[in-house]
């Protein structure tokens, strides 16, 4: 075999090794995307079931709250009726006492009869007072129960909103990964993977200069006053800051759900910093000047 033949054999071998390496890399990449896709899909289904259970529990608590509130209104009405009956008894007592005094003056009623009648009426008034006190205690207990149920309802509502935001975020990631799996299985290559998967800390500010504020906070998720009508898109990032009581930079958030007049964003966490505490009224902007 001459020199040219040897060179061709070596080049053939190198080419075969390169092709084999690319095939192994492509197979590993497809397997990684599929595993990530199935894991996120499983997590999204589990979160959906958790959200359904939370909504069911919240519906039960809400029904209990309405029932207790109705009982409280009935007890209050009974209390009012007892107050009226007490006033009527006291008026009757005063009237009979005046009548007995008049009869005593006329010698038409003995002192013993007058005392017995006064004692009976006073006993009836005392019974009404005790009943009223018992009703007041019952009303206090029902009002406490109403407050507890109202707190439970608020807690379940907040939990349901958080589950909804998390579920929407996971579903979006599942959709992105579904597209990526289809692209890889079709053999279509790309220079970069989706930002939300490959580099979640990458800054992607909107094209336009936007300024808004945080309207509601649920853990690491926030609702913004900006939406697609202002030029905000999903995966855009915004800088968060606070002016009072002192100016402070709080970090970066990424939009996960953009609607016409509002959007939902998630706090971008870094491994080297303590997560900031975001509040309603904190300001957001496309990019802070250095």
Return d(Cα 186, Cα 197) in angstroms, integer.
20
Give the pLDDT confidence of 241-289 residue by residue, as tens digits: 999 888 898 999 999 999 999 999 999 887 666 788 999 999 999 988 6
Share of the chain above pLDDT 90, in %: 20
How much is the pLDDT for 194? 41
Bridge partner list, 249:
241
Structural domains of the chain sorted by starting position, each given as residue range(s) with its CATH number in brackets? 1-195 (1.10.287.950), 200-285 (2.40.10.170)
How much is the pLDDT for 198? 52
CB 231 within 8 Å of CB 205: no
**Average pLDDT of the chain to the nearest whole number:** 77
Looking at per-residue pLDDT, the higher value among 114 and 284 belongs to: 284
Share of the chain above pLDDT 70, in %: 77
Q: Which two tokens stand for residue 154?
A: 């608020």
How much is the pLDDT for 227? 94
| Span 146-159, average pLDDT | 76
How much is the pLDDT for 91? 78
Q: Provide the CA 24 distance to its chain's centre, in angstroms.
A: 45
* Mode of pairing for the β-strands spanning 248-258 and 237-242: antiparallel
CB 280 within 8 Å of CB 242: no
Closest CA to 257 of 136, 165, 151: 165
Q: How far is CA 20 from CA 7, 157, 181, in A?
A: 20, 55, 21
Q: Which two tokens stand for residue 75?
A: 């007890």
Alpha helix positions (H), the chain: 3-105, 111-185, 195-198
How much is the pLDDT for 36? 67
Return d(Cα 165, Cα 284) in angstroms, integer.
20
Banded pLDDT at 197 (limits 50, 70, 90): very low
Q: Which two tokens stand for residue 83?
A: 């107050």
Give the pLDDT confidence of 7-23 residue by residue, as tens digits: 777 777 787 777 777 66
Banded pLDDT at 193 (limits 50, 70, 90): very low
Q: Which two tokens stand for residue 244?
A: 């009072």
| Span 223-243, average pLDDT | 94
CB 153 within 8 Å of CB 58: yes
Give the pLDDT confidence of 54-97 residue by residue, as tens digits: 777 777 777 877 887 788 788 878 777 777 777 877 777 778 77
Contacts of 254 (CB under 8 A, 6+ apart): 196, 200, 204, 235, 236, 237, 265, 266, 268
- Tokens 């996960």 belong to which residue? 256
Return d(Cα 257, Cα 226) in angstroms, integer.
11
Coil vs helix vs strand at 245? coil
* Mode of pairing for the β-strands spanning 263-267 and 283-285: unpaired
Banded pLDDT at 181 (limits 50, 70, 90): low
Query: Given a cut of 70, is residue 192 above it in pLDDT?
Result: no
DSSP assignment of 173-194, as one string? HHHHHHHHHHHHHTT---SS--
How much is the pLDDT for 111? 65
């Amino acid at each position: 075999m001459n020199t040219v033949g040897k060179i061709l054999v070596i080049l053939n071998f190198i080419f075969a090794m390169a092709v084999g390496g690319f095939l192994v890399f492509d197979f590993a990449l497809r397997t990684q995307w599929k595993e990530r896709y199935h894991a996120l899909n499983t997590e999204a289904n589990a979160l959906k079931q958790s959200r359904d259970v939370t909504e069911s529990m919240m519906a039960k608590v809400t029904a209990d709250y309405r029932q207790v509130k109705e009982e409280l209104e009935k007890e209050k009405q009974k209390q009012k009726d007892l107050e009226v009956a007490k006033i009527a008894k006291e008026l009757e007592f005063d009237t009979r006492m005046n009548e007995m005094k008049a009869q005593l003056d006329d010698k038409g009623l003995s002192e013993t009869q007058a005392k017995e009648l006064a004692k009976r009426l006073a006993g009836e008034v005392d019974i009404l007072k005790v009943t009223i006190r018992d009703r007041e205690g019952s009303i206090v207990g029902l009002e406490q129960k109403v407050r507890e149920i109202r707190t439970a309802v608020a807690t379940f509502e907040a939990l349901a909103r958080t589950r909804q935001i998390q579920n929407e975020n996971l579903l979006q990631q599942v959709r992105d990964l579904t597209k990526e799996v289809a692209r890889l299985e079709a053999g279509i290559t790309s220079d970069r993977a989706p930002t939300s998967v490959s580099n979640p800390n990458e800054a992607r500010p909107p094209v336009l200069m936007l300024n808004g504020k945080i309207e509601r906070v649920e853990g690491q998720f926030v609702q913004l006053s900006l939406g697609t009508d202002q030029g905000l898109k999903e995966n855009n990032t915004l800088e968060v800051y606070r002016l009072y009581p002192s100016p402070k930079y709080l970090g970066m958030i990424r939009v996960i759900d953009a609607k016409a007049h509002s959007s939902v964003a998630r706090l971008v966490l870094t491994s080297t910093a303590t997560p900031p505490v975001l509040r309603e009224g904190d300001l957001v902007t496309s990019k802070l000047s250095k």
